[in-house]
Structures are given as structure tokens and as C-alpha cells.
């Protein structure tokens, strides 16, 4: 049951990733096509801070961070677990992946918050 | 390790089990591509979060990093990332449809000559992969020839 639930979440977060990752690519990698802005401009410090001050961006970025990290790390766990590990090794893999996920989530969320609350000019 | 155990019944193939298959059909290659692109994406994502945290070191540190990423080598890496994401997403949609039971045809009596659900699904697989290829080419052309 627990495994079914974990796997279901792996699939359920996919629509969130498709929409938000698509938007992220459009803004950061294809700005000239979708917004008529050069890539340099889209990635400029000030533009980034300006964009990051929106509450929608704060919430959506943290949502994308959580969804993509969960989906990707659960996938990695599955690949490692296919090695038919001993229960002890399986626990080590699970714990390491959870710790990595929590660390990257905390860092990403903190940086997003930092951008959101950045005060231009000091 | 019990050496008397016939290898055919030994499911502990180890790392070989990640790639080994008795039959390498089109879907098997897609599976390998899906796995490689998935691993590439999660590895990139972890590095990406660490790398973009550099903004907290100030505007100059950020600008230096962006200059590095504007170099031709990083442009190519960025394109490979895009291609991996498009392939993984499109093949992922195919997997979701399959796992939810769509486009597999109605269950039939297994009468010779057999028609497997994978074969019935294959036209859709080709269409989805052709679309993925098209998006990857279009994405490349607008990245390199803006
Ligand atoms: C863009 C939309 C995406 C879609 C539609 C998608 C879809 C899928 C699907 C359907 C699976 C197989 C699930 C299963 O049958 O158990 C999967 C596996 C996986 N995905 Fe994604 N995914 C997407 C994005 C991502 C991203 C952004 C990452 C990394 C951060 C990622 C990493 C992985 C990994 C590592 C696996 C496991 C591969 C394996 O077991 O061979 N995916 N994905």
C-alpha cells in the first residue's frame, strides 16, 4: 500500500511538472521566442529580482521544486532499488535520497524566498 | 553466491539488469532513453538549484556565471537538456497512456498469429516520437538561429 501510494504521487505530480517546467523553459530558455526578450536580458540580475518579487512566482517555483524533486528522486530510488538490495542497503538508499531531497528543497525554497524579499538598492 | 543456481532464474542481474533485455524492440530503446534522460534531468536539477543559489553572492557573481553560461559549450549543453526534457516528457505521456490502459486495443483471445498490445500501440508510439523529434528540431533552430 505504501509503495503504491509513493508511486501514485510520482505520477500525479507529472501534470504540475509539465505545465510549470514548460513555463520555466519559455521564460528562461526561450524568452526571445515567447516574450521577444533576449536570453541575456531574461537572465539579468535585475530582471530576475523583478520577476521573483511576484507572489505567484514564489508559490509556483516552490511547487515546481517540490514536484520535480519528488518525481526525479523517486525515479532514482526505483532505479537503485532494482538492484534488489538487501533490506539494510535499501534503507541506506532511501534515507540518503530523502536527505538529499530535503537539502535541495530547503536550499531552493530559501533562494526563492531570498529573491522574493530582496530589496533593490540595499 | 550459489553457483548451482541456473542464471535464467537468477533475478539478481545487478547493474546489467538495468540494460539487459532478451529482445531489443523499439520500446526497449525508448525505455533506455527514458531512464537516461530521467537520470540526466535529476542530476541537472540538483546542480541547477546549487548553481542558481549563487545569486545570493551578489550581482557580480551572478553576471560572471551568466557569462559562462552564454559560452557555446554551455549553449550546447542547454540544448541537450531541452532535448532530454522533451523526449522524457513525450515518452512519459506515452507511458502514462499505456499504464492507464489507453490505446492498447480490446483484450482478445490469444489466437495465432498473435497481435500484442504493444504492436497495436506502436502507431501512436511513432506519432508521439515524431512529434518529440519535431519539437526538438524546432527548439534547436530557435536556440541557435534566433
Ligand atoms: C516533463 C514532464 C515529465 C513527464 C511527462 C515524466 C514522465 C515520467 C514517467 C511516466 C515515468 C515512468 C513512471 C513509471 O512508470 O513508473 C518517469 C520516470 C522518471 N522520471 Fe519523469 N517525467 C517528467 C519530468 C521529469 C523530470 C523534470 C525529472 C527530473 C527531475 C524526471 C525524472 C525521472 C526519473 C529519474 C524517472 C525514472 C526512470 C526509470 O525508472 O527508468 N522526470 N517520468
pTM score, two decimals?
Answer: 0.91
**How do residues A28-57 score in pLDDT, each as one tens digit?**
999 988 999 999 999 999 999 999 999 999
- Residue B42 within any structural domain of the chain: yes
Chain B CB contacts of A29 below 8 Å: 78, 82, 143
> Does residue B66 register a pLDDT over 70?
yes
Residue B104 Cα, gap to closest chain A Cα (Å) = 19
Q: Which protein residue's CA is at the shortest distance from atom 28 of ligand 1?
A: A72
Contact B55 A111 (CB under 8 A): yes
Give the total number of structural domains in chain B. 1
Q: What average pLDDT does chain A have?
A: 94
Q: Is the pLDDT of residue A122 over 80?
A: no
Per-residue CA distances from A4 to A7, A11, A96, B35, B123 (Å) = 5, 11, 21, 20, 30
Over 60: is that where the pLDDT of B10 sits?
Answer: no
Closest Cα to residue A68, out of A7, A23, A13?
Answer: A13
Q: What is the CATH number of domain A2-117?
A: 1.20.1300
Rounded to 10 degrees, the C-alpha dihedral A61/A52/B72/A34 comes to 80
pLDDT for residue A22 is more than 80: yes
Query: What mean pLDDT value characterizes chain B?
Result: 89
How would you label A4-29 residue by residue, b for 16+ Cβ within 10 Å and e otherwise? eeeeeebeebbebbeebbeeebebeb
B37 part of a folded domain: yes
- Between the CA of A72 and the centroid of ligand 1 the distance, in Å, is 6
Residue B27 domain-assigned? yes
Question: Which domain range does residue B69 map to?
Answer: 23-144
Q: How many CA atoms lie within 13 A of B48 on its CB side?
A: 15
pLDDT tens-place string over residues A26-36: 999 999 889 99
Ligand 1 cavity residues, CB under 6 Å: A 14, 17-18, 21, 68, 71-72, 75-76, 78-79; B 34-35, 38-39, 41-42, 45, 85, 88-89, 92-93, 95-96, 99
Instruction: Say how many Å lie between the CA of residue B86 and the centre of ligand 1.
Output: 11
Domain with B60 in it: what CATH number?
Answer: 1.20.1300
Mind listing the pLDDT tens digit for each residue in B32-54? 999 999 999 999 999 999 999 99
| pLDDT tens figures, A92-107 | 999 999 999 999 999 9
- Percentage of chain A lying above the pLDDT 70 cut: 98
Handedness of CA A13, A31, B83, B122 (dihedral sign): positive
Query: Are the CB atoms for B144 and B75 separated by under 8 Å?
Result: yes
Amino acid at each position: 500500500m505504501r509503495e503504491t501510494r509513493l508511486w501514485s504521487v510520482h505520477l500525479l505530480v507529472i501534470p504540475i511538472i509539465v505545465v510549470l517546467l514548460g513555463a520555466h523553459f519559455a521564460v528562461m530558455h526561450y524568452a526571445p521566442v515567447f516574450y521577444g526578450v533576449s536570453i541575456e536580458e531574461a537572465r539579468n540580475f535585475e530582471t530576475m529580482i523583478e520577476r521573483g518579487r511576484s507572489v505567484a512566482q514564489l508559490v509556483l517555483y516552490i511547487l515546481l521544486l517540490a514536484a520535480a524533486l519528488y518525481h526525479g528522486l523517486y525515479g532514482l530510488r526505483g532505479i537503485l532499488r532494482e538492484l534488489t538490495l538487501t533490506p539494510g542497503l535499501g534503507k541506506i538508499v532511501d534515507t540518503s535520497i530523502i536527505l538529499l531531497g530535503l537539502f535541495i528543497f530547503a536550499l531552493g525554497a530559501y533562494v526563492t524566498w531570498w529573491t522574493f524579499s530582496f530589496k533593490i538598492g540595499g | 553466491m550459489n553457483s548451482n543456481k541456473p542464471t535464467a532464474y537468477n533475478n539478481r542481474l545487478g547493474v546489467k539488469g538495468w540494460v539487459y533485455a532478451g529482445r531489443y524492440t523499439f520500446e526497449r530503446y525508448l525505455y533506455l532513453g527514458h531512464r537516461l534522460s530521467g537520470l540526466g534531468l535529476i542530476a541537472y536539477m540538483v546542480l541547477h538549484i546549487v548553481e542558481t543559489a549563487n545569486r545570493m553572492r551578489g550581482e557580480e557573481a551572478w553576471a560572471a556565471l551568466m557569462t559562462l553560461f552564454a559560452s557555446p559549450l554551455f549553449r550546447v549543453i542547454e540544448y541537450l537538456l531541452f532535448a532530454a526534457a522533451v523526449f522524457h516528457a513525450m515518452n512519459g505521456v506515452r507511458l502514462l497512456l499505456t499504464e492507464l490502459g489507453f490505446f492498447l486495443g480490446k483484450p482478445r483471445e490469444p489466437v495465432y498469429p498473435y497481435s500484442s498490445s504493444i504492436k497495436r500501440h506502436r502507431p501512436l508510439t511513432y506519432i508521439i516520437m515524431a512529434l518529440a523529434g519535431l519539437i526538438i528540431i524546432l527548439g534547436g533552430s530557435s536556440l541557435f538561429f534566433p
